[in-house]
Every structure is written in structure tokens, then in C-alpha cells.
Amino acid sequence: MSDHTYRLTGETGDWEVVMGLEVHAQVVSKAKLFSGSATAFGGAPNTQVSLVDAAMPGMLPVINEEVVSQAVRTGLGMGSKINLYSRFDRKNYFYPDLPQGYQISQFEFPIVGEGELECEREDGSRFNVGIERLHLEQDAGKSIHDLDPNSTYVDLNRSGVALMEIVSKPYIRSPEEASAYVTKLRTLLRYLGTCGGDMEKGQLRADVNVSVCRPGDYEKFRDGGDDFSHLGTRCEIKNVNSLRFIRQASEYEARRQIEILEEGGKIDQETRLFDSVTGVTRSMRSKEEAHDYRYFPDPDLLPLELTEDFVDQIRSELPELPDAKRRRFVEDFGLSEYDAGVLVSDQSRAAYYEAVAAGRDPKLAANWVNNELFGRLNKESLGIGETPISADQLGKLVALISDKTISGKIAKDVFEILWTDGGDPARIVEDRGMKQVTDTGAIETVIDQLIADNPDQAAQVKEKPKTMGWFVGQVMKAMQGKANPQAVNEILRKKFEL
């Protein structure tokens, strides 16, 4: 057990949680997995449906080559094994939003095999999640139950859109880790450009598997080479569509299972739904026989065979990924792990930062981007794409602080002006007389006057040197914050012979 072990205390002792996630990520592509109809979000119902997607008899699926590249790209990004041979199978079940009566998926031979993802908890500690596989499959259509009291309305626009199902190993040990894993996966997918990651639009959704066990059991499971006999029976919570819900649902589910076990009951392996309004999970009824999917190879599709050259080509075009970028920010720019982590969490934020830092003090640039700019954007609920201050403007401001033209305090005023009125930082400083006064003569004059006007305070500084701060404040006030604080301190120390 590590310090991070998540434990729930029951009536009969402590319990631990074991979780595995199946994440469905919508592939970024213009057309669907096996047809030429559009994948765009928000089209009028059934307008983005071809006769292939509607499963009209005699229509044949033809695979979209870009989707194949995207799956390989994602696999490489996760450091996973790419399978040069993969195959499509039919997963058979009946549902109104599945016109074929089966989903084309990859069962026995997925396109991507095992990999690993390094994730980070809130306290900055890291943990690894093993990836079992990634396979390609079709999305289903959408059923709408609230348009009519007696019937369900079906829109097939999403039917046939390509999904990557990314299956983790059951190495996730707490609701917090589950959320951290999905966060990391989403960042990676967005860097790669293979999934938009917008959970509100359903581009990323998770099936969360939860089981509970006694302390020590998980270690036996791992030591035995993933011997599942040491773990409890799991339940699968379907289609959880936000990070917060993943946490809530898994915590509720763990507590529910503990309660049953402590009362002497047993867990039925089943599929459950999370109700985000009440915060509870409930059993999906009447699916007793739905689990008999009778997979078999899809006779309409030949196996998908890739070449090493094809994979190498994609590998050579991968962008710099978040982990590598963070390492570079720490090593080359001297940033803290935390600052670097915040900056690389989003590709466009990282790009913005690099533009600000180019040719300037990288640490100072990180402070201004992370604290001032991101702080302000968050406060106003704006994305980095909507920032009123460009990287060029902020970079120039940082340069003015570095060369001591303005103090950090004045810089905040300039920042405000840039935010509301825009403009060129150097010009603003010039026009508004905000330049820092480093002329020691001018500062000395002010100090002499202050000492003459406040003899009692001056006497006290000789007794208690710490009270010199009062004079620093007064000088700054008298000079409208424009005095160079270092110069003020130096002259004061000289005057008081400290």
C-alpha cells in the first residue's frame, strides 16, 4: 500500500476500490467510419445518414483511411503496440438506434494493443495506468425519449460515426485517479488531434467498472499476474459523461457494494446507470439476454493489414506530446513541475506561453501567463482563444519588467489597461508616465523629506529595523508606485546605517 491508497471504512473494517475504464472517444474525421456521410455536430435529424448508415439491404461498408490513421496515431501517442493485423467483427444486439442489428467493432484482433499512460493526482504525485487495448467501432444513433409520451424518436446522424474504445487495465484505485486518468487521456487526444474531447457534446464518454476488496487483495491480484480471483465482482456504470460524474458515480457505487457485502449479500455482475440528478446508480433492467453478443468476423470487411512504413510515417509526424513538453519546460526554462503542468494541460495554452517566453525571462513569463492571464480568463469564463491580450503584448510587458522599465506593481496596472483598452505596452508606459524611477537622487530627495517629517518613526527604525517597511511604503506612495523598490530599500538602509 502507498500513501495514496484510497480507503472506505465500513462496519466490518476497511475496504479498497479497484476500477477499470472503457473510454469511448469520437474520432476526429469529416466522414463516418464506413460511409461518406458527415460527422458534424448538430445537423437536422437524419440528414447526415447514408443508405449504408441506415443499413439498407445490399449496402456495403468501406473503411475511412483517415480513421485508421487516427487510431494508429492515438496508439503511438499512448506508447502502445500497433497491431499490423486487425479485424472487424459484428457485435449482435437489437436496439432502435442500431439499424444494422449489430455494431461493427473489433473483438478478437484490435488495431492497438497494450500501452501505458502516466497520470497525475491533485497533489502532484504520479501514477501509471496500463492500457489494455484500443479498438475501432461504430457509434449508434440517438434515441430521444421526451418528445412524445408514448414513443421514442430516433435520429441516426451519429450512427456509424467512428469511435475509439480505449480500455484500461483495472489499475485505477480511487475516484480521483479515475478522473485524473480521463483528464490525461483527453489532453493527449487533443494534442494528437484525434478526438475533440468535449464531454458535453458526447465526444468522450466513459463506462466505469467498479469493484471493492479488502486491503492487500489488490496486491495479490497484481502479484499473481492479474489474477482476478482476488478481486470482488464488478459492476459497470454505463456512459458517464463528465469528470465530476465519474467521481460521484464510482464513489456511490463503491459504497453501495460495501453495504451489500457487509450485510452478507453478494454483488451481481451487472450494468448500471448513473443518475446525475439524484447521484445514485441503478440497475439497467430487462437486459438479461442482451449480453449474448454472438461476435463473429464481419463477412463484408476484409482484415485490416498495415505496413511498418505506414506506422513509421505516422510516428514521424507526431506532435510534441504533453509529457515531453512538460519535461522541456522544466529542464530548459527552469519552471516548477506544477507551473509546467498547468501550461501543458492544453496545447494552445502551451503555445501562448512559448510565444510570451520567446527571448524573455521564462520564469517571469510563466508567472504572468499562469497567474495573471489564466487567473483573469478563468474569472471572466473565457478560453485562451478569447484572450483580449495577445502573447505579443504580454511578452512585451514581461520584457519591460525584466529590463526594469516598470515595476511588477505598475505592470499590473499596464495589464489592466491592455485588458480593457489594448495597445502597445511600451507606448502605454511612455504616454502615461509609468516608468520606474531608478534615479537615486530623486528617490533620496523623497526619503530625506520623509525622515525630516517623521522623526519619531525614524527613531523607531534604529531600535527595530523591521519597521523600515513603513518608510518603503511611504516612498512608494509618494512616488505613485514608480520608485524602483530595490533602490528604495538600498538608500533607506544606507540612511539608517542598517
Torsion over CA of 371, 376, 379 and 380, rounded to 10 degrees?
-160
Give whichever of 38 and 260 is closer to another protein, judged by the CB atom. Answer: 38
- The Cα-based distances of 287 to 94, 384, 390 in angstroms read 11, 45, 54
Give whichever of 147 and 452 is closer to another protein, judged by the CB atom. Answer: 147
The amino acid occupying position 189 is L
Give whichever of 31 and 411 is closer to another protein, judged by the CB atom. Answer: 31
Smallest gap from residue 418 Cβ to another protein (A): 41
Smallest gap from residue 299 Cβ to another protein (A): 8
| C-beta separation of 211 from 257 below 8 A | yes
Q: Where does this chain bind another protein (CB under 8 A)? A: 29-31, 35-38, 44-54, 62-68, 87, 92, 94-96, 143-145, 147-148, 150-156, 285-286, 289, 292, 294, 297, 301-305
3-class secondary structure, 459: helix
Smallest gap from residue 115 Cβ to another protein (A): 24
| C-beta separation of 394 from 356 below 8 A | yes
Smallest gap from residue 36 Cβ to another protein (A): 4
Give whichever of 45 and 388 is closer to another protein, judged by the CB atom. Answer: 45
Give whichever of 37 and 248 is closer to another protein, judged by the CB atom. Answer: 37
Give whichever of 161 and 172 is closer to another protein, judged by the CB atom. Answer: 161
Site of grid cell 449508434 = 140
The amino acid occupying position 378 is N
Smallest gap from residue 328 Cβ to another protein (A): 32
Give whichever of 65 and 430 is closer to another protein, judged by the CB atom. Answer: 65
**Dihedral pair phi/psi, residue 377, rounded to 5°:** -60, -45
E strand or H helix that includes residue 346 = none
94: cell is: 437489437
137 bridge partner residues: 163
**Opening angle at CA 341, ends 339 and 342, nearest 5:** 65
Smallest gap from residue 185 Cβ to another protein (A): 23
Burial class of residue 233, CB neighbours in 10 A (0-12, 13-18, 19+):
middle
Smallest gap from residue 198 Cβ to another protein (A): 20
Cβ within 8 Å of residue 351, ≥6 positions away: none
Give whichever of 67 and 350 is closer to another protein, judged by the CB atom. Answer: 67
Smallest gap from residue 29 Cβ to another protein (A): 5
* Number of neighbours of residue 283 by Cβ within 10 angstroms: 12
- CA separation for the pair 174, 20 (Å, rounded): 10
